[in-house]
Amino acid sequence: MYKLPEDFIFGGATAAYQAEGATKEGGKGLVAWDEFLEKQGRFSPDPASDFYHQYPEDIRLCEKFGVNGIRISIAWTRIFPDGTGEVNQEGVDFYHNLFAECQKRNITAFVTLHHFDTPKTLFDKGDFLNRENLDAFVDYAEFCFKEFHEVHYWSTFNEIYPVATNQYLLGTFPPSVKSDFSMIIQCLHNMMVAHARTVNLFKDNNYPGEIGVVHSLETKYPATDSPEDQHAAFLDDALSVRFLLDATYLGYYSDKTMQALEEIAEANGATYEFLEEDFEIMKKASHRNDYLGINHYQCHFVKAYDGETQIHHNGTGDKGTSVYKVKGIGERIYKEGLKRTDWDWLIYPEGMYDILMRIKEDYPHYNKIYITENGMGYKDEFEDGVIMDEARIDYLKVYLEAIGKAIEDGVNVKGYFLWSLMDLFSWTNGYNKRYGLFYVDFETQKRYPKASAYWYKRLSETKTIS
Ligand code: BG6
């Protein structure tokens, strides 16, 4: 049994593009996803959970169910429809109204500036591979810091590693490039530079509040004790975890990271450019992060692999269909005996505990941590308004226990945001993979609390995981 601190945040997470819908309303500009999804024809981002209109109801539900924090993102193109230039006042007003609603009900807002939704005009010019777009991001951030005084907690980016790999390795995100490691490495680095520039701007100008970044940190373990498998896990970890933590907290890439990077780049014929001035910026920012947001759902067991890259993304929930073999890194395998979701995500809460302990040990000035996403995607059964999502409750319990144990062992975790507050749109799975505490009927937009919502309410009241 673990008792969580009195001031712990029991939050719910969302993201603009996945929740708001209304992609063509309120003067919003286009993002690359609009065209990408339309061409694919699998599912539409509208109306999603219609948060654009339903937010008062969602915030009311937060209050009713003890959810005292909400993670949202600002859609860059609601503020600057073209990414830069003219401001869309309707978008600015929308977020003021949303934050006012949060304040009215005492729900703390954690606001992310970029959650996978770069404006199309900038995306078409190379997204974060184009250094000019870094300037555009920093300008947009500055506008938000000056405008939204109601916000106390800011995050620059959501999940830099998935942006880089989904866009340029798996190709599941636009522009659907496959296996281009030059792009992957450059994108990772450039986004970390943009993060550092934004942190420095925030701190140099003494904007009120706190700033951090949200990383997806999924622990990597060797599939066996063999030196080959250990090396494969080391490489996979170096690119997906250590690279980001080094950039965030050291402001440079440690020897171990560089060793792995060079090996991966060589195997894949990749080149990249890190400028001396980037490291000056990153170093300056590396002791100025107020917090780290961690998204953690699963972990990976990695085996040596020396073939060509072969990937199949399970975007349907057909268990056992995932394939992930990457040239120059390794193969992520299913570990016999471990539970996994229908989307092949391994349920292994030790991974959460281990990543938290590692940050405390390897980057002791990390300050504090929020778990900004954790949850279980599931095909919920809806029977007369009742949703008994016991498998989700079991998942949440074991992961929260891992967090409780890490807190007991000295890690400063200040809050938890369950993904997701309500059911919403999933980038590569559409609407059949639900995560919410609240079931959304996407036709009527009616919300129904699931069994997990009642469980979470009790947790937030008792602060005790049992
Ligand atoms: C995180 C993202 O990677 O995982 C969310 O920040 C996303 O935007 C979530 O929805 C769950 O992923 P998926 O693919 O199951 O929707």
Query: Rounded to the nearest 5 degrees, what angle is found at the Cα of 67, between the Cα atoms of 66 and 71?
Result: 170
Provide the 10 A C-beta neighbour count for residue 30: 18
In one-letter notation, the amino acid at residue 259 is: Q
Q: Rounded to 10 degrees, what is the CA torsion of 44, 47, 48, 51?
A: 150
Q: What pLDDT is attached to residue 385?
A: 85
Is the minimum distance from the CB of 433 to ligand 1 under 6 angstroms?
Answer: yes
Residue bearing the CA closest to ligand 1, atom 11: 426
Nearest to 157 by CA among 242, 96, 216: 216
CA-to-CA distance for 162 and 426, rounded, in angstroms?
14
Tokens of 400: 């929260």
How remote is the CA of residue 146 from the centroid of ligand 1, in Å? 29
Report the alpha-carbon distance of residue 263 to residue 327 in Å, rounded. Answer: 11
**Percentage, residues of the chain above pLDDT 90:** 98
Residue in the block written with tokens 């550092």: 196
Closest among 323, 320, 327 to 304, alpha carbons compared: 327
**Cα 205 to averaged position of ligand 1 atoms, centre (Å):** 33
Euclidean distance between CA atoms 6 and 220, whole angstroms:
32
CB 199 within 8 A of CB 175: no
Cα-to-centroid distance, 336 and ligand 1 (Å): 25
The residue whose CB lies within 8 Å of the most ligand 1 atoms, and thus the one to mutate among 163, 380, 419, is 419
State whether residue 325 is helix, strand or coil. strand
Place of tokens 């402001």: 251
Radius of gyration of the chain measured on its C-alpha atoms: 21
Whether 218 lines ligand 1, by a CB cut-off of 6 Å, is no
Q: Which atom of ligand 1 is nearest to the CA of 116?
A: 8
In tens, the pLDDT along 158-213 reads 999 999 999 999 999 999 999 999 999 999 999 999 999 999 999 999 999 999 99
Q: Which two tokens stand for residue 206?
A: 């003494």
- β-bridge pairing 464-465 and 2-3: antiparallel
Among the listed residues 373, 390, 443, 461, the single catalytic one is: 373
H/E run at residue 256: helix 255-267
DSSP 60-112: HHHHHTT--EEEEE--HHHH-TTSSSS--HHHHHHHHHHHHHHHHTT-EEEEE
Strand ranges across the sheet with 323-326: 220-222, 300-303, 330-333, 323-326, 310-312
- pTM over cut 0.90: yes
- State residue 359's pLDDT score: 98
Tens of pLDDT, residues 354-380:
999 999 999 999 999 999 999 999 999
Going 333 to 335 to 341 to 347, the CA torsion angle's sign is negative
Tokens at 415, concatenated = 């809050």
User: Which atom of ligand 1 is nearest the CA belonging to 427?
Assistant: 16
The residue nearest atom 10 of ligand 1, judged by CA position, is 426
pLDDT at 353: 98
State which amino acid sits at residue 205: N
**Which amino acid, 98?**
L
Question: Residue 231's Cα: distance from chain center in Å?
Answer: 27
Pick the CATH number of 2-215+349-465 from 3.30.70.380, 3.20.20.80, 3.40.50.2300, 3.40.50.1820: 3.20.20.80
Provide the b/e sequence for 88-121 (b: ≥16 CB within 10 Å): beebbebbeebbebbeebebbbbbbbbbbbbbbb
Residue keyed to tokens 């404006």: 119
The ipTM, to two decimals, is 0.99
Residue among 164, 153, 79 nearest 111 (CA)? 153
What's the pLDDT tens digit per position in 133-153?
999 999 999 999 999 999 999
Q: What is the DSSP string of 178-239?
A: -S-HHHHHHHHHHHHHHHHHHHHHHHHTT-SSEEEEEEE---EEESSSSHHHHHHHHHHHII
Q: Tell me the per-residue pLDDT of 32-66, one tens digit each, with 9 for 90 and over.
A: 999 999 999 999 999 999 999 999 999 999 999 99
Is residue 16 in contact with ligand 1, taking CB distance under 6 Å?
A: no
Residue 466 has pLDDT above 90, yes or no: no
DSSP H/E element including 278: helix 276-285
* 36, containing H or E segment: helix 32-40
Q: What percentage of the chain carries pLDDT values higher than 70?
A: 100
Q: With a cut of 90, say whether residue 384 has pLDDT above it.
A: no
Tens of pLDDT, residues 119-133: 999 999 999 999 999
Residue 147 a catalytic site member = no
What is the average pLDDT across 277-281?
98
Closest Cα to atom 12 of ligand 1: 426
Give the integer Cα–Cα distance in Å for 79 and 94.
10
Lowest mean pLDDT among 134-138, 259-263, 380-384: 380-384
Structure tokens of 153? 């907690």
Question: Cβ neighbours of residue 16 under 8 Å, at least 6 residues apart?
Answer: 72, 73, 74, 75, 78, 115, 117
Mean pLDDT on 392-396: 98
Output the CA 282–ligand 1 centroid distance in Å.
27
Q: Which two tokens stand for residue 90?
A: 């309707």
Q: pLDDT by residue (tens digit) across 301-349? A: 999 999 999 999 999 999 999 999 999 999 999 999 999 999 999 999 9
Residue of 17, 116, 426 with the most ligand 1 atoms within 8 Å of its CB, for mutation:
426
Q: Which residue has the tokens 């915030």?
A: 59
* Per-domain residue ranges of the chain: 2-215+349-465
Return all residues near 2 (Cβ < 8 A) that are at least 6 apart.
400, 401, 404, 405, 407, 408, 464, 465
* Cα 396 from Cα 460, distance rounded (Å): 13
